Chains A and B, each alone.
Chain A
Amino acid sequence: GQQVMQIPQYQHVQEGEDFTTYCNSSTTLSNIQWYKQRPGGHPVFLIQLVKSGEVKKQKRLTFQFGEAKKNSSLHITATQTTDVGTYFCAGRSNFGNEKLTFGTGTRLTIIP
């Protein structure tokens, strides 16, 4: 079955440093979504990427979808304590398919 891996599993950064998490799928994706889960909270949708090579920005967050539509990345510039949480990518293998396969997640902690 489809597998979606993320690296690193954990990342500790000093406040103000940049952070990147990488997402790799075993199969080609029709689209990919990113979610953030704060400690003790629930996953919250951040963004969806659909096109090959697509890049989207949300303030300090930059999301990228690979040319082959099998990988994606999330980059945070100048991290803040509010960025703490686990970041998940989630991919769909086919259009019209309801099933999202979540990545293994990257847990980000910030050292003030």
Chain B
Amino acid sequence: DTAVSQTPKYLVTQMGNDKSIKCEQNLGHDTMYWYKQDSKKFLKIMFSYNNKELIINETVPNRFSPKSPDKAHLNLHINSLELGDSAVYFCASSTRAPQREQYFGPGTRLTVT
């Protein structure tokens, strides 16, 4: 049983297209996150939702829009894709307390050509 799953695993698309990445967790956690990992392996938080409410919104272009239909799902929609959006996108989830360790999904490798 996969704890945090993401689809698709790989995504190759052209500049200007719109794409979505889906994330689901079956751990019963109430907080979910999106991270971007660039080619240098730097991990940057993008968004976080707690019980479907947006609680972290870092400086991310508004072409990126997260949506949380329920506590177990957090999707990421990207409009007008650019070359610089190429990266690995990780979804993660955690409880709010006490340790709040984050469980990461397998990642979605996005390549924009």
Contact residues of A with B, CB < 8 Å?
Answer: 33, 35, 37, 41-45, 48, 86, 88, 98-102, 104-105, 107
Contacts and interface: CB of A to CB of B under 8 A. Distances in A.
Contacts of B99: 48
B56 interface: yes
Nearest to B101: A45
Interface stretch (B11-19, B39-47, B71-79): B39-47
A32 B33 CA distance: 18
A19 to B, nearest CB: 17
B34 interface: no
A6 to B, nearest CB: 11
Nearest to B109: A40
Nearest to A88: B43
Contact of B96 (A41, A42, A98): A98
19 contacts: A37-B41, A41-B106, A42-B105, A42-B107, A43-B92, A43-B104, A45-B101, A45-B103, A86-B41, A88-B43, A98-B31, A98-B50, A98-B96, A98-B100, A99-B48, A101-B45, A102-B43, A102-B44, A105-B43
